[in-house]
Copies of this chain bind each other. A is one copy, B any other.
């Protein structure tokens, strides 16, 4: 046993974590409500018996999560209910979005082959044109109904032996398996009209609107690892985005 279990033992949650959870509890139980000013940092430090730096770390997390705002010289204030989770910008997983809509996600593999990269593909993936890429063509379903048709390309050079096998598993898992986990992506959205082929694949009428999303996926270090083209059937699950006027912290302007 250590000297003083009460103060010494600190297995998982850090002090800022515990302070944050306590404040979050106060927010959810309406001890503080939207517009209220929190006690100042010295007072919070005294109340929780931690240093002011620890309080600031805890509050920083709640500010980033959108629960609080700080105003220099004035105080720290409670915001109205925080933003949606499951937005495009804060989420890479359509599976999670489909579940959020109360539907059961599924996947169907149409094709899987290795071919040479086109010029556009090579440019987006930072490889030479003609380099081999794994090409996968799939349909996602929600409660069995088709909702997304997609094609994905991954340079085989990234995959090594992993390119074979693991056919059923997610491409994210495939990349994570070779230490190139997808951490971010840049998506470009454009409305298009369903042609005969897309209408057939997605079980919609020719001429109906589809959301096209062109997307480059990046690993932890920001290197491109996968290029995707997606066609979404609208109104099955929402595509939403949290927007913020930028430069929230450390405005390293470039």
A250, chain B: closest CB distance, angstroms: 2
Q: A91-B243, A188-B240, A209-B192 are in contact. Are A223 and B34 (CB under 8 A)?
A: yes
8 A Cβ contacts from A33-75 to B: 34-35, 58, 60-62, 64-67, 69
In the bound complex, residues from chain B placing their C-beta under 8 Å from that of A242 are 89, 184-186
B189 and A243: CB pair below 8 A?
A: no
B79 and A222: CB pair below 8 A?
A: yes
Q: Tell yes or no: A254 within 8 A of B by CB.
A: yes
Report the bound CA distance from A186 to B207 in whole Å. 29
Q: Tell yes or no: A193 within 8 A of B by CB.
A: yes
Report the bound CA distance from A239 to B239 in whole Å. 13
In the complex, the count of this chain's copies comes to: 2
Interface size of A by Cβ–Cβ distance < 8 Å? 70
Report the bound CA distance from A223 to B78 in whole Å. 11
Report the bound CA distance from A79 to B223 in whole Å. 8
Please give me the residue from chain B that is nearest to A17 by CB atom. B250
CB < 8 Å neighbour of A243 from B66, B85, B88, B251 = B88
Q: Tell yes or no: A191 within 8 A of B by CB.
A: yes
Q: A60-B250, A221-B35 are in contact. Are A83 and B245 (CB under 8 A)?
A: no
A contact residues vs B (CB 8 Å cutoff): 16, 20, 24, 34-35, 58, 60-62, 64-67, 69, 77-85, 87-92, 182-193, 207-211, 215, 218, 220-224, 234-235, 238-246, 248-252, 254
